[in-house]
Amino acid sequence: MSAPGADGCGAPAGGIEVTGGAGSQAVVQGHVTSAGTPVPSGYARLLNSDGEFVAEVPLGEDGGFTFYAAPGVWTLRVLAPGGIRVERPVSASTGMITELEVAV
């Protein structure tokens, strides 16, 4: 995986791992599962309170996703093959890692 920073802008599968706690970030992360099994092929989208698209990552091998949001209320939307489309509301706070497990 390439290091995040000014020279890159892409979203690696699963998102960029949080290391050493949230620090000053407002992290939203979790996993997508189907009948208890990780969903490795699909996408997690973060929408703002107006329903506008903010960011998207492909799910990791473990169905994982990570976002670095701003404090506030967001919507997580999961897209996966087979027409799967599931939404969950989520709140983010600075310095916190908000965990979200999504069953589809």
Partner 1 sequence: MSRSDVLVEADWVQAHLDDPGLVLVEVDENTTAYDKGHIKGAVKIDWKKDLQDPVRRDFIDRAGFERLLSGRGISNDDTVILYGGNNNWFAAYAYWYFKLYGHDKVKLLDGGRKKWELDSRDMVTDVPARPATSYHAREQDRSIRAFRDDVVAAIGVLNLVDVRSPDEFAGRLLAPAHLPQEQAQRGGHVPTAKNVPWSKAAEEDGTFKSDDDLRALYGDEAGLDFGKDTIAYCRIGERSAHTWFVLHELLGQANVKNYDGSWTEYGSLVGVPIELGDGK
Contacting positions for partner 1 (CB under 8 A): 1-2, 4-13, 15-16, 24-25, 41-43, 45-46, 48, 50, 52-58, 66-70, 79-82
Q: Which is nearer to partner 1, 16 or 96 (CB)?
A: 16
- Closer to partner 1 by CB, 66 or 102: give it: 66
CB of 62 to partner 1, least distance (A): 14
Residue 1 near residue 45 (C-beta atoms within 8 A):
no
CA–CA distances in Å: residue 46 to residues 7, 40, 41, 49: 23, 18, 17, 10
Count of Cβ atoms closer than 10 Å to residue 34 Cβ: 15
